Every structure is written in C-alpha cells, then in structure tokens.
Structure 1
C-alpha cells in the first residue's frame, strides 16, 4: 500500500513538473513572439565600410520595390566587386604573394540556402557565382579551378583582375616580402551586407579579395557560412570584417546570431562576440593592437548593432531615414 501511495505521489509530482515545463515553454514562446511584435523597421540594409554607401544605394533600389533581400544583397555587393578603385574586393583587389588575385564570397537566403566560392580567379563577380552554386548545384562550396570552370559554365567571362596600381604595389612589396597585415582597411578587407526586406525576410552576402600578399590558397572567413556570414530568418543576421582567422576561431557570425536568439540585442551580441576574440587573443599571448575584427548585426525587428576590436571600422545603414555612414563602437582604447 505504501509503495502504491509513493507511486501515486511521484506520478503526481512528475505531472505537475511536466505541466509547469509546458507552461514555461508556452510562456517563453509568448515572450519570443512578443519580442518581435510591434513596429518592425523594414526595409533596412547594412554593409561594412565606406564602400557600403554606394553598395547600399543599389541594394535599396531593390528593397524599395518590395524585392527580396537576397536580390538586394547580391546587387549591392556587385557594385563594390566591380570597382577597380576598391583594392580589397573583386576587380582591383590586391594579389597574393604570387601576384594572383584570388576571391572569396558567400551568400545566404531566408530559407537557409547557402552558396560559396573560395580561391576563385579571373571572375569579376564571385558573389554571383556563389549564388549559382546555391541555386544550381547540390553543393554549398566550390574552390579554385573547380569554381572557375563552374563560373565559365554559368556565362561568366575570364578577366584579368590585377589592375596596374595593384601590380605595381605587389612588385614593390616583393623587394622586402614583409608580411604583416595591418588593422582596418589599409591592405585588406571585405564588404559584408545584410538586409531585411518588406516581407520581413533576411538575407546576406559577403565578398573579398582577402589579405594582400597572403599565401596562395589562403582562405579567410568571408566564404565560410557561420564565420563571415550567418542568417537565421527567425532571429537575425550578422556579417564580419577584418582578420578572418580570428573570426573563424570563434565561428563569429553564427555566435552573434545565437546570442540574439538568447535574447541579446544586436549591439550586445556584437559586443560579446568581440569580447570572445579579445579573451582568446590574450590567452594566446598575441598583441591585440595587431588585430581588427568588426561585426554588424540585424534582427527581425530591424534593430541593428555593430562593434569592433579597435577604432577605425565603420559601416553603412540605409533605412527610411536615408543612407548613412556610422563609426562603430570599439573595445581597445589606445
């Protein structure tokens, strides 16, 4: 009889616990829905660095016509890829130490479809090749010669991407071959773009020529989904710029989005990701002054944030108030 009473008591307690957990889950669900209810700031597009201003203009032309965020981010970053004056992205990008311009890019849509290319040569618009990988192959990443041959099959033309100015700088660099990547935009960087469209959907794109005078075959964070870019259409999106090795080390953009999933604002999520890099840099006894990483993030409400290791990183924001360049807050006060 005692055993039967104990069984009934235990069962009753368990039932209450299940009910409480179910209530908590429902409450959490309500709170989550509540957190994204109310007025959503859309459309909005964010992109890294000052070349994000003209890139945003092109993206906004798509968004204002109620176009998809995916089309907007591809259209936007193609502007930077095609500009020979921008020496860290696409045509005009600085070469590796062998004098070869190699490009990396990735793209991600609202359905978690992804496409990526790495170490791609002779093709002006790697972002469009990445989208073709996403939409026309069973794969998510193509690299090197395989990526090049695929690009040709999709109608892209083989072009010389090494402009005269970049070639002269590379030949000057060869005299010393001193390899010491600088912080900010002096000899490398990336355009990352994330957007929220009128339909409430998110997408992102990221494209770069990577570190100037890198070892041939080096790949940074920009073509790696979860490092240089990540989109979760239920939560938000993030993209990164700076020293790719440090971003890869913490799966940076996935981390930012997961922090937003936990309830952090885009700003707080970017700050925590940067602090993760700061901590690991200190553990590894590296000089933080030699490192720059910046994150930008956007959630489903159209709220945004940005943060970087040290001063000098800026980003462009285009929404109903216009297209503006903003200096990001930073950790290292020199």
Structure 2
C-alpha cells in the first residue's frame, strides 16, 4: 500500500513539474535524449584529408549526405592514391574502372560499377540514387548516364599507373594478387548535427584485377550499409570475402541486436575467418558507427587504421586485429 502511494505521488509530482514549467519540461526531455551524438566523420584507412573536409562541413551545418560525398571525393581526386578514382591502378588489360556507392539517412541508395572515364563515381552514384528509379548502373550504361548528367569524360590512367601496370605485366603471373597492400578503398560514415547518418564507398578495385571484376565497394550490404535508426558500417580489403558474408549489413544487424560497434565488427571478421581457411592470405577490415556516435573497428591483419574527425580534432586510429603480427 505504501509503495503504491509513493508511486502515485511521484507520478503526480513529475506531471506537475512538466505542466508548470516549460523550461523544466524541456530539460527533462533532454535528459532522455541521446546527448552524446555530435557531428563526426570516420573513414577507412588514414585518409585524414577526407575526414577533415567532411568534418568541417558537418560542423558548419552540412547534411551527412553532402559531407560524405565531398569527403570521399578528396581521395577520388588524389592522384597519389592509386586505389581510388583518378589515377587508380588499371585492370590487367589497362582499363581504369571505378566502383562506388552512397546511402542516405532515409535508406535510399545509389551505385555505379565498372565505370570508365569519370573521375568522381560517388557523385554519379548519388545521381543514380536521386534521379533514377534504380539503385545500380553498370559499364556503358553508367557512363552514358553520367554524360547525360553533365559529367565530363577524362583519361584516368596516369603515367605513373601505366608504368606500374607495364612493369606488373613483365613480372607477375596472370592470376589474382591477394595481399593487403594493393587496395585501400575509402569508405566513409558521417553523422550530422541532427544525428542523421550517411555513408559512401569508392574504389578503383583490386590492382590488375581481371577485366570485368567488381568487388564489394559498390554493393549495398557488402562494402556499405546503414540504418539511420541503428548505425552504419563500411568495409575494405578483399572484396570477394566481404561480399560472401554481406559484412556491412551483418554488422548493422548485430548492432540492432545490442552489440556495440566494436563487438559487431569483430564478430563479422571472425565469421570470415571461420569461413575461409586461407584467411591469412588477405585482409578484411571494417569500421562501424552507431547512433551514439560510438566507433568500432576490427580486421584480420595488423596494420589497418581509420581516420576520425570529431569536435575539431583529426586522428588516425589503429584497429584491433585478429593476427597481431
């Protein structure tokens, strides 16, 4: 009886505070909200120039979608990065082919695969998302669409990349080169001041890949996935392994079940290890962010890191790994 009266009095008191003071009511509401969420940009590998630009945009009030697109475009324009965009390493036949995807907070998505002669595939992917009823365009169709949207054709094979490709032809066997050095896709997640999350992933793919090969980067659920109510994840490394496990989707679903980003990334990597006896021959790495703005990362081989921009500070963060040496 005494307990019932205490509960009733407490409920009446709280109701009186709420009705009697708008300010107090607002403060009580604020206490129940997620107060740790702030603008944050995170990307695979040490691409701090990309996260700095995206982070600065977020701090100026830009949407997560605008920030993530502009952020990864930094590396698409970086001629020294031979694994993304302009200057990317070609396939075995000398073709530079690009893959990219983008996701908005409302769950919409766009993707392009095997795109030639367009320096910013992520922007074409966004146009696919916003201007067509489709999610993915490929090859000549993607190029035709890009030109119709005003994108300019460009020779993406630089002298440096062409020279390296010709040297590879002289010394390498005609089979997949699987290691952790010849690809470092940029995948990025951004959370804006409203707490909305967007993501993007862009790459030129595995160096000297077979003509026509497409990896995980433009595949929604593999290289990138997000649910704005839960969080998002991006992957990098051997795309074939990531596709087989639908890694980014798996991580988001694990977070939905209650795991934090670190736990979810680790579980996704451990599943790949369990499924592949040759896991020591390739790298798989993930970065994830939940709605609290918490970040997690895990990989197979030591050496992977992720860039983060938060509260005006840019950092490079080593990832935990299954193999320690």
Q: Deviations over 1:49-108 (max 9, x none)?
A: 12x200011101210111110000000000100111101000010000000000000000
Deviation at 1:180, TM superposition (A): 4.3
Check if 1:119 corresponds to 2:114: yes
- Under a length normalisation based on structure 2, what TM-score does the superposition of the two structures give? 0.88
CA drift of 1:216 comes to 0.8
Residue equivalent to 2:147: 152
Q: CA deviation at 1:42?
A: 1.0
What is the CA deviation profile of residues 265-286 of structure 1, one whole-angstrom value per residue up to 9, with x for unaligned ones?
Answer: 000000000000000013xxxx
Residue 45 of structure 1: aligned partner: 41
Q: Is the counterpart of residue 200 in structure 1 residue 191 in structure 2?
A: no
Tell me the distance in 1 between the aligned counterparts of 2:108 and 2:71. Answer: 19
Q: 2:184 corresponds to which residue?
A: 189
Secondary structure of 2:101's partner?
strand
Distance in 1, matches of 2:317 and 2:155, equals 34
Per-residue deviation at 1:306? 0.3
Q: Is 2:300 the partner of 1:309?
A: yes
Determine helix, strand or coil for the equivalent of 1:183: coil
Residue 314 (structure 1) shift: 0.8
Name the CA distance, whole Å, in 2 between partners of 1:309 and 1:161: 31
**Which residue of structure 2 lines up, in the alignment, with residue 33 of structure 1?**
none
Note if 1:94 corresponds to 2:89.
Answer: yes
Between the aligned partners of 1:183 and 1:264, the Cα distance in structure 2 is 30
CA distance in 2, matches of 1:302, 1:99: 41
Unmatched tracts of structure 1, length 5 or more: 1-35
> 1:130, 1:79 → 2: CA distance?
16
Q: Distance in 2 between matches of 1:183 and 1:323?
A: 28
Alpha-carbon distance in 2 for matches of 1:58, 1:177: 38
Instruction: Report the count of equivalent residues.
Output: 296
C-alpha contact 1:104 1:120 (8 A) present in aligned 2? yes
Residue aligning to 2:309: 318
Determine if contact 2:56/2:312 at 8 Å carries over to the other structure. Answer: no
Q: Which residue, out of 218, 227, 236, partners 1:223?
A: 218
Please, which of 267, 270, 294 is the counterpart of residue 275 of structure 1? 270
Corresponding residue of 1:289: 280
- Structure 1 residue 37, shift from structure 2 partner: 4.1
CA RMSD of aligned residues (A): 1.7
Paired with 1:155 and 1:61, the residues of 2 have a C-alpha distance of 27
| TM-score, scaled to structure 1 | 0.86
CA distance in 2 between partners of 1:302 and 1:329 (Å) = 19
* C-alpha distance in structure 1 between counterparts of 2:228 and 2:36, whole Å: 14
Q: Which runs of 4+ in 1 moved over 4 A?
A: none
- CA distance in structure 1 between the aligned counterparts of 2:313 and 2:178, rounded to whole angstroms: 32
Preserved contact between residue 39 and residue 192 of structure 2 (Cα < 8 Å):
yes
What's 1:330 paired with? 321
Q: Distance in 2 between matches of 1:62 and 1:240?
A: 23
* Cα contact 1:66–1:199 (8 A) shared by 2: no
2:155 pairs with 1:171 = no
Note the residue ranges of structure 2 that are not aligned, 5 or more in a row: 1-31
